[in-house]
């Protein structure tokens, strides 16, 4: 039962704002030094072992892909496509903001990267057209939540590795929930735009030749997205091979088609990706050691007995868990909760007959909502800083978006087919 001591120690480390991997490593070292009967060398072995998983190669490739997009010229063309598709709807610029996140998120895999770029590009533009700056910031932040859910979100990869689930299955499972979130956010924006009198981005119909020029100009982005998802779904290549192919395609498009990318941009992207990958790898390696401790201590079985003692109904369990996750997500970074809870909950999922892929989408969606909520929401804090908006104002303006995302979460929980249909389990 020493795991009961380990978990509060982890939560305390995270509450003190200690780096994720250091907090987890601290708990692992405390266990091996004070509670374990095995030699401490085992701790090092357990720390290194997760790095041998070849599926981890997907992380640096997709991180590099997201970084390269900023230099490729693809983002600007996706914005034009989004305006073409939804610009005539009331609140057109805000609607396009969500549409851009949906289209761009399927390429970049990083909601922070997407949100930083779109905050600089879209918030000033929306404010110029009469939108409240706080509302523009809230829309941009909420739209970025779609990124972790649709492929190739990094959170999907981390869950797959921690939960011992196929990365490809998680990628495919995230498509429909991601689209659902985008649609509900656009509905919420439409309601707000109607009340406040926000106008469409344009009222006239785009001429056919201009529309075709816009669509043709964005064909590389669509092609890359189809290559990633279609290649994985039809098993043409593995997730990390898909990342490598997508990186190569973006470089070709950026340097030879749009000619906006330079060799220096590639070097800068590689350096940034190396730093980001190192951070994520340390977290995954430390979490692998932590998961091994939970397994040895039979923490999952004990936790499962505790949960099922309240109710053996899986929907009651999911309801209780989602309430807890929404609360703790306001206080603790989502990746930390993912790493702590998934190894503990795996036996419970098996006992209650909950599909681990479905559960993964629920967790990623729930914890993504936490990135928008005070006091530690990473996306919220970044957007508020970049846009010059106070947290209080952001939170008030984001209330309709919170409601839309909670409805999406409820639908994903109640209807597993939303996650599992494309995987072939629906």
On the question of pLDDT at 109 being above 60, the answer is: no
Amino acid 376: pLDDT: 66
Does the structure show a pLDDT above 80 at 100?
A: yes
Mark out the alpha helices in 89-153 (DSSP H runs).
92-108, 111-128, 133-144, 146-149
At 56, the pLDDT band (50, 70, 90 cuts) reads: confident
Average pLDDT over residues 375-391: 82
What SS3 string covers 7-62? HHHHHHHHHCCCCHHHHHHHHHHHHHHHCCCCCCHHHHHHHHHHHHCHHHHHHHHH
Most confident residue range from 181-195, 280-294, 329-343: 181-195
Per-residue tokens: 260: 């906006």
DSSP states of 367-381 as a string?
HHHHTTSTTT-HHHH
The model's confidence at residue 164, banded by pLDDT at 50, 70 and 90, is confident
DSSP 342: H
The mean per-residue pLDDT over the stretch 22-39 comes to 81
Task: Say which range, 9-23, 89-103, 293-307, has the weakest mean pLDDT.
Answer: 293-307
Lowest mean pLDDT among 107-121, 131-145, 278-292: 107-121
CA distance 219 to 225: 10
Q: What would the two tokens of residue 381 be?
A: 């804090």
């Amino acid at each position: 039962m020493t795991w009961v001591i380990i978990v509060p120690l982890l939560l305390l480390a995270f509450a003190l704002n200690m780096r994720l991997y250091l907090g987890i490593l601290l708990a692992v070292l405390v266990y091996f030094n004070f509670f374990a009967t095995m030699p401490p060398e085992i701790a090092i072995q357990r720390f290194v072992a997760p790095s041998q998983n070849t599926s981890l190669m997907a992380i640096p490739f997709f991180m590099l892909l997201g970084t390269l997009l900023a230099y490729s010229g693809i983002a600007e063309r996706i914005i034009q496509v989004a305006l073409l598709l939804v610009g005539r709807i009331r609140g057109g610029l805000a609607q396009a903001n969500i549409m851009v996140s949906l289209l761009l998120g399927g390429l970049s895999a990083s909601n922070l990267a997407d949100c930083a770029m779109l905050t600089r590009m879209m918030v000033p533009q929306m404010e110029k057209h009469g939108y409240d700056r706080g509302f523009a910031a809230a829309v941009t932040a909420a739209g970025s939540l779609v990124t972790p859910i649709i492929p190739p979100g990094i959170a999907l990869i981390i869950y797959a590795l921690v939960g011992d689930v196929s990365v490809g299955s998680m990628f495919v499972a995230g498509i429909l929930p991601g689209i659902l979130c985008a649609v509900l956010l656009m509905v919420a924006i439409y309601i707000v735009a109607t009340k406040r009198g926000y106008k469409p981005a344009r009222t006239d119909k785009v001429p056919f030749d201009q529309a075709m020029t816009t669509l043709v100009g964005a064909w590389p982005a669509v092609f890359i997205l189809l290559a990633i998802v279609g290649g994985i779904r039809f098993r043409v290549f593995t997730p990390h091979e898909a990342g490598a192919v997508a990186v190569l395609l973006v470089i070709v498009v950026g340097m030879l088609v749009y000619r906006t990318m330079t060799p220096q941009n590639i070097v800068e992207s590689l350096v940034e990706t190396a730093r980001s990958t190192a951070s994520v790898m340390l977290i995954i390696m430390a979490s692998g050691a932590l998961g091994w401790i939970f397994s040895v201590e039979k923490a999952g079985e004990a936790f499962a007995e505790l949960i099922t003692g309240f109710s053996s109904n899986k929907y009651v369990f999911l309801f209780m868990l989602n309430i807890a996750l929404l609360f703790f997500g306001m206080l603790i970074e989502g990746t930390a909760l993912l790493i702590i809870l998934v190894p503990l909950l795996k036996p419970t999922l098996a006992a209650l007959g909950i599909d681990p892929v479905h559960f993964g989408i629920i967790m990623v969606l729930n914890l993504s909502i936490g990135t928008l909520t005070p006091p530690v929401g990473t996306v919220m804090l970044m957007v508020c800083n970049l846009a010059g908006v106070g947290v209080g104002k952001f939170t008030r303006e984001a209330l309709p978006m919170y409601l839309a995302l909670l409805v999406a979460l409820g639908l994903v929980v109640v209807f597993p087919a939303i996650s599992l249909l494309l995987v072939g389990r629906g």
